[in-house]
Amino acid sequence: MSHPSAPHILPWPSNTVPLMLAPMQGLTNRGLRHLFAQWVRPDTLFTEFMRVAPGETNKRLAASDLREIAATEEGIPLVVQLIGHGTEALVHAARLAQNAGATHINLNLGCPFGRMTTGLTGGGMLQQPQLLQELIPALRAEIQGSFSVKLRAGYADPQQIFSLLPLFESAKVDFLVLHPRTVQQEYEGLADHGITTRVVQETGLPVIANGDVRTVEEGLRVLEQTKAAGLMLGRGAIADPLLFQRIRSGVRSQPDRAERAAMLRHYLTGLLERYQALFCGEQQILGKVKTVFSTMDDPDFAKQLKGLKKARNIPQFQAELDLL
């Protein structure tokens, strides 16, 4: 059902420059989101991508995914991100998500690691952009709240985004989240925010800048350079959740070692508590907590992180944590 006259419902407070927590598969589960929501209050949260099953099925979305769907988490707007292929399957999944309580739905056109072999998904869909001509308007017609697209600048050509803007505009997509690398680049090289700048200049849609923001200086520079509507923080925020607060306040000075140690203790203790309620078995709990270490490269804590990675049980992990 189309809602052409309905005002845009954006998943961030009006008159603000939103700082969003990026959806990162295997990392931004509801336990981590809950900690971030209570602690550093991102303006917008995203689910990890929810895989849409193809074909004739009543199980387009997994039961575990449906249980995670909501309009908000801890009072913060929650965007449900879908990944899949096929207009019928994705539209049906959007309907199921809305029936389960979703107000904000995002289509993933950026992930470089497609998991479905029967069709192009994520960033792979940019290989056949003609398929988007049907898909994007169909999703817009179904989605009653905000509909956004998270995408790479292109599949192989970083200029591809400019040929897609008319489609997103005519379909009345609410906002874009742009990671200015190609799908083929995966995470190599640097995100080219010169492309983000040009996209902002060439479209009236709000554009959220995403990619390689790991410090306050980088965040403020990207906002100033691109004039983007907001920022999406991924690895930088997973390594240092207080990045949200420091970008908001514009504090450019790096916290000292004692402050960083206190942050790490609070962070890892909070994850450990939540993951013990969320996951089963000591090894799975510790394995999930340790996933955040892949984002961390603070040389002051290299030795301590090595000890934490080697911890084989929760008491040992806690003992190492106390040494930070």
CATH number at residue 215: 3.20.20.70
Does a structural domain hold residue 140?
yes
**Same domain for 119 and 68:** yes
Q: pLDDT at position 116, please?
A: 52
Q: pLDDT at position 1, please?
A: 37
| H helices present in the chain, as ranges | 30-39, 63-68, 87-99, 132-142, 160-170, 193-202, 216-226, 235-239, 243-249, 257-278, 282-290, 302-310, 314-322
Does a structural domain hold residue 1?
no
- 19 touches 244 (CB < 8 A): yes
Query: How far is Cα 41 from Cα 52, in angstroms, rounded to an integer?
Result: 29
Q: pLDDT at position 4, please?
A: 43
**Same domain for 148 and 113:** yes
Q: pLDDT at position 304, please?
A: 93
Does a structural domain hold residue 280?
yes
**Same domain for 271 and 223:** no
Q: Which domain holds residue 121?
A: 19-249
Q: pLDDT at position 2, please?
A: 40
Does a structural domain hold residue 2?
no
Does a structural domain hold residue 189?
yes
Domain count, the chain: 2
Residue matched to tokens 């931004």: 28
pLDDT tens, N- to C-terminus, the chain (324 residues): 344 444 568 999 989 999 999 999 999 999 999 999 999 999 999 999 999 988 767 789 999 999 999 999 999 999 999 999 999 999 999 999 999 999 999 999 998 875 555 678 999 999 999 999 999 999 999 999 999 999 999 999 999 999 999 999 999 999 999 999 999 998 888 899 999 999 999 999 999 999 999 999 999 999 999 999 999 999 999 999 999 999 999 988 889 999 999 999 999 999 999 999 999 999 999 999 999 999 999 999 999 999 999 999 999 999 999 988
Does a structural domain hold residue 223?
yes
Q: pLDDT at position 267, please?
A: 98
Q: pLDDT at position 54, please?
A: 83
Q: pLDDT at position 7, please?
A: 57
Does a structural domain hold residue 128?
yes
Here the tokens at position 124 are 């792979």
Give tens-digit pLDDT for 5-25.
445 689 999 899 999 999 999
